[in-house]
Structure 1
């Protein structure tokens, strides 16, 4: 049989079927697709991923909050592939308010995930494109104390959750999603949300794309309580691949827990 083309590989990955290395031509773009996303599909469910795009000096946006765009076109295409491979994509409400993101799959073929907004104080902008009513379902996670009397837009389901010091425990968020059959989850942003899931050891894989740009001062990416000694810093198994001028590093955090 002839080697599989890019579209063939991608369709099979979307269907949960990982082709063998012998099915693609070595060094081809189809082989790159298989190498990048095959392990994520093969990992099965449940699976919790997180993704960040940042500058070389570790910022995800300028000091004004402007994040258009830190990384390049190939990384955004990569992000849409990740969305297509999960059941739900999670963001904090500040990301919605700042970026007015849609969180849908547009740059590649594939299904759009359920969109989840973490919003303890119920500050979701009513004019956000996310709640325009013409996309995938939205789960609006709010604090128990803020849920009473909330009126949600069509296609938006209010999910009351307990809070601790004004924030949701990542384990509580994931349990609520799995209770709805959403076992493959992508935590997309922003930096504080991803950092909270990382600090709670709730992530299986962390993918960080670094762009060759210096911001100088801005919104930081990962921040979590670290070790006092570098010898005790997190050093999980890593994979690296190029996305145009950017570099993506995938960390297998599940290996540390194992």
Structure 2
């Protein structure tokens, strides 16, 4: 009888342990995350699958939504985690790792025939962009926070910024490797160029909801991410999406 009681007491624990960790992503963020007929793909998805699913043995699910909705799902405890830049607001409802998931440089994209290109190659800080007309898309959180002192023509979506630049209605875009990926995908690499000088860098971190049962596993996640950086796994995953 005592063993039977113990068995039933253990059932909730066993069920909880088997519950997958539900990751949510921006569903239109190639090549980092995107939805293709209901299945999520991308750099972040592959990293999570390797780190959490394979190396830690935690079952995971991957679902994409408009970005604001994805974040709200973690805030409300409907989903467990997402990967992005930490902000003060996100810290109110998530616990955030110390090991970056991905890191990337920000550089200038401009027209190949821009007469200011030589002087642009000397730019090494956001402060120096005040002398130029910049364009970017609404919803780019980094740009909205860091380009407040710069003249920016805000466009409704990322696909619009490339023709805007080609038409010489702005001098430059501050771009990550992902922006360059879109530039190539949309056929603008013959007209636009990425300058070699680095303006800044950005790191994305794992953000686990404070309501998630996995919030206490953050040290494990950090340990595995560090291991994956050291053994080159994350670099290989990223390059598999960016190479020709």
Smaller-chain TM-score range?
under 0.3
Structure ranking higher in helix proportion? 2
Q: TM-score, normalised by structure 2?
A: 0.26
Q: TM-score, normalised by structure 1?
A: 0.25
Which structure has more relative contact order (CA 8 Å, sep 6+)? It is 2
Instruction: Work out which of the two has the higher radius of gyration on C-alpha atoms and give 1 or 2.
Output: 2
